Amino acid sequence: MPAARLLWSRPALLCAVIGISCAKDEPPGPLADASEDGCDVVAFEPEISAPPVFTPRWAFEPWISQGVSDEQGIRALLSGFAERQLPAGVVVIDSPWETHYNTFVPSDRRYPKLGELVAHLHAQKVRVVLWMTQMVNRWYHDEKGGDWVVGPSPNFEFAKTCGFFVDEGQTYSWWKGGGAAVDFFHPQARAWWHEQQNALLDLGINGWKLDVGDAFVRSDPVQTAQGQISHQEYSEAYYRDFFAYGAHRKGGLNEFVTLARAWDQPYGRSARFHARPEHAPVAYVGEKRRDWRGLSDALEHVFRSSRAGYAVVGTDIGGGLEFDPGDPLGDPIPFDRAVFERWLAVGALMPWMHWRGSRDMLPWAMPGCEGDCAQKMLDQHRFWLTFHHELVPFFYSLAHQARAGGAAVLTAHGEPSAWLGDYRFSLGEALLVAPILDDTAIRDIVLPEGQDYYDFWHPEDDDIAGGTILRSYHSPPGQIPLFVRQGAIIPLQVSDEVTGLGTTASRDAWTVLVYPSAKTTSFDLQDTDDVVTTFHAIAGKDTVEVTFSRAIRAVVLQVRMTRRPGQVKLGDAAVPERETRDSLDVAASGWWMDTARQAVWVIVPPSPSPQHIRFLWP
């Protein structure tokens, strides 16, 4: 569909993008006496304190969604992932799922048994997050495949009469119709809004995906029950309120998150931060053009967000937008598989990974991709979803450290003026990522000075000196330039052979990749009991040493080593050498030289005591 036809078929989106007032919008009208309409029965609720921001371990698992869907579609999506061994830890039920925007009442047609669906997904260890905004509609419009509802949302007139909206009930066009925005500075409005959320929070949902309805409140300042405030203050209050109340109702953040906008420029509006970092357990940068420019925009916005203190941030893989939000009547943007492949890799190497598909785009059924192509795309999805799943203990630990005043989880290289066309970033002090940004599959890569690096894809190669410029580095489809810093210690949760970093025998153990350097390096693992287990490593002339403070589960070490050690010792005891990886997998302890990866694998049994492993040469 040409872009013009696409947008004219979605008049609410057209009005919102262009910034005009649609015919069905209306200015505020006279309000009835609140006491006569029952407004006085709504309690005055004091503002609830927001807890210290925290992201639970499960929120680092891959997130998936399907756009316009229903209960049958969500069940089929999760079954499809499970049958093909594609990890998924969170499903986002996107709009439309309600009776209207926004009632918090599940649609009888789409989700008649939402409670049963939530319980079914929880039984598979999959959490459930629902899409939401702060808008309540006077008139309804939905995207292709969505719903059509005549008249205002059932809760609109009461809230308007009671003065629960900002700007005296002014309605604003947004991409789902036209509505008014909840006043989070009005004590009764907060109580009314929270009461509507209770049934879903008590049902067991695990959070809200908060979309940018705040960007379509066009006034600045915004008129609230407490007087005029800046538009930025209004946005921050929106995200803060959902975060604080959800955590309060759920008894904490172990089973609740909000997915909030960080730095973004939604639908051509002004680029800015939306939620505050301390109110964003998980942050995202919104939809982007589904082309190379969109990928660059996503990286730019993620970088800005990370620098501002958003610890757990990522991007919708593939971008999602079929048009340029700055030129809504321009040519449509076709799906480009090469862009999607590189975006998939980039998304997997961010703290938050979100695979966003549709009924026409699935990991095993990509547009224009059949036969061998379909199998390759499925294999790529399996690798990157699995690798992100394996990195969960690494990301979870880094996020704890970042919020305790440590370094950022994701760090952009260089100043913002130098990002364009480069967009290299590091994860902790361990991994360097150099995105592919066009269809040549080639780029120059500058390795940061100060330490040597190893090419992740070529473990058989020697280390490369920091400061080296890799000219015309070629990255085949399905990969992305990825390098491991010498001195890195990377804890993983590995349960199969998909990424080559372990086997099914690794399932109940921590797998820890160690790349020793001449200086002692360390990593604080936030363990499964949320107590820190500290790892250290150092390489000497005739010995390599790895220590850790305890092992509440078995530890499988993969230690970078170019020569076979003469002996491996755990404390004072010799560790037996195993002849093959298979023989190592069935042993309670032992070591094996992996010449293909230039690494030694060591199994260390569980122990509450500090562990000291030495690799010795005569």
Could you read off the pLDDT of 82-120 as tens digits, one per residue?
A: 999 999 999 999 999 999 999 999 999 999 999 999 999
536 burial via Cβ count (<10 Å: 0-12, 13-18, 19+): middle
- Kindly tell me if the per-residue pLDDT of 466 is higher than 60: yes
Q: Which segment of 20-34, 61-75, 152-166 scores lowest on mean pLDDT? A: 20-34
The answer to whether the predicted template modeling score (pTM) of the entire model surpasses 0.85 is yes
Arithmetic mean of pLDDT, 548-571: 97
- Scanning 204-271, the segments in alpha helix (DSSP H) are 231-250
Percent of the chain with pLDDT over 90: 88
pLDDT category of residue 141 using cuts at 50, 70 and 90? confident
DSSP code at position 453: E
pLDDT of residue 69: 94
Give 226-232's long-range contacts (Cβ < 8 A, gap of 24+).
226/185, 226/186, 229/185, 232/272
Mean pLDDT taken over the chain: 93
Arithmetic mean of pLDDT, 526-553: 97
- Kindly tell me if the per-residue pLDDT of 16 is higher than 80: no
- Kindly tell me if the per-residue pLDDT of 2 is higher than 50: no
Domain map (residue ranges) of the chain:
418-485, 489-616
In the numeric block, the tokens 């109580």 are attached to 191
Q: What's the CA gap between 29 and 498, in Å, rounded?
A: 61
Q: Where are the extended beta strands (E) located within 126-239?
A: 127-132, 135-140, 172-174, 177-181, 207-210, 222-224, 227-229
Q: What's the CA gap between 483 and 456, in Å, rounded?
A: 5
pLDDT category of residue 266 using cuts at 50, 70 and 90? confident
Q: What's the CA gap between 208 and 565, in Å, rounded?
A: 52
CA 366 to chain centre: 22
Q: Is the dihedral of CA 265, 293, 129, 104 positive or negative?
A: positive
**pLDDT tens-digit series, residues 23-61:** 344 555 443 344 446 898 888 888 999 999 999 999 999
Arithmetic mean of pLDDT, 220-229: 98
- Scanning 264-328, the segments in alpha helix (DSSP H) are 292-307
pLDDT category of residue 412 using cuts at 50, 70 and 90? very high
CA distance to 21, 143, 164, 167, 389, per residue, from 232 (Å): 22, 28, 19, 15, 35
- Kindly tell me if the per-residue pLDDT of 366 is higher than 70: yes
Q: Regarding predicted confidence, which is higher, 33 or 602?
A: 602
**pLDDT tens-digit series, residues 422-434:** 999 999 999 999 9
Q: Regarding predicted confidence, which is higher, 144 or 526?
A: 526
Fold topology of 418-485: Immunoglobulin-like (2.60.40)
pLDDT of residue 573: 97
The CB-side HSE value for 239 (13 A sphere, CA atoms) comes to: 31
pLDDT category of residue 137 using cuts at 50, 70 and 90? very high
Arithmetic mean of pLDDT, 156-182: 97
In CATH terms, are 418-485 and 489-616 the same topology?
Answer: yes
Token readout for 174 is 């947004």
CATH of domain 489-616: 2.60.40.1180
Arithmetic mean of pLDDT, 608-614: 98
Q: Where are the extended beta strands (E) located within 498-589?
A: 510-514, 521-526, 532-539, 543-548, 555-560, 567-570, 573-574
- Kindly tell me if the per-residue pLDDT of 174 is higher than 60: yes
Arithmetic mean of pLDDT, 462-481: 97
Enclosing H/E stretch for 474: strand 469-474
- Kindly tell me if the per-residue pLDDT of 13 is higher than 70: no
Cβ atoms < 10 Å from Cβ of 578: 20
**pLDDT tens-digit series, residues 491-514:** 999 999 999 999 999 999 999 999
3-state secondary structure of 400: helix
Token readout for 516 is 């020793």
- Kindly tell me if the per-residue pLDDT of 459 is higher than 70: yes
Q: For residue 266, what are the contacts with CB-CB under 8 A and spacing of at least 6? A: 212, 215, 286, 287, 325
In the numeric block, the tokens 């260390």 are attached to 604
Percent of the chain with pLDDT over 70: 94
Of 233, 158, 231, the closest CA to residue 196 belongs to: 158
- Kindly tell me if the per-residue pLDDT of 379 is higher than 50: yes
Q: Which of 14-18, 317-321, 555-559 has the highest mean pLDDT?
A: 555-559
CA distance to 147, 260, 392, per residue, from 264 (Å): 28, 11, 25
- Kindly tell me if the per-residue pLDDT of 145 is higher than 90: no
- Kindly tell me if the per-residue pLDDT of 368 is higher than 90: yes
DSSP code at position 277: G
pLDDT of residue 26: 52
pLDDT of residue 37: 66
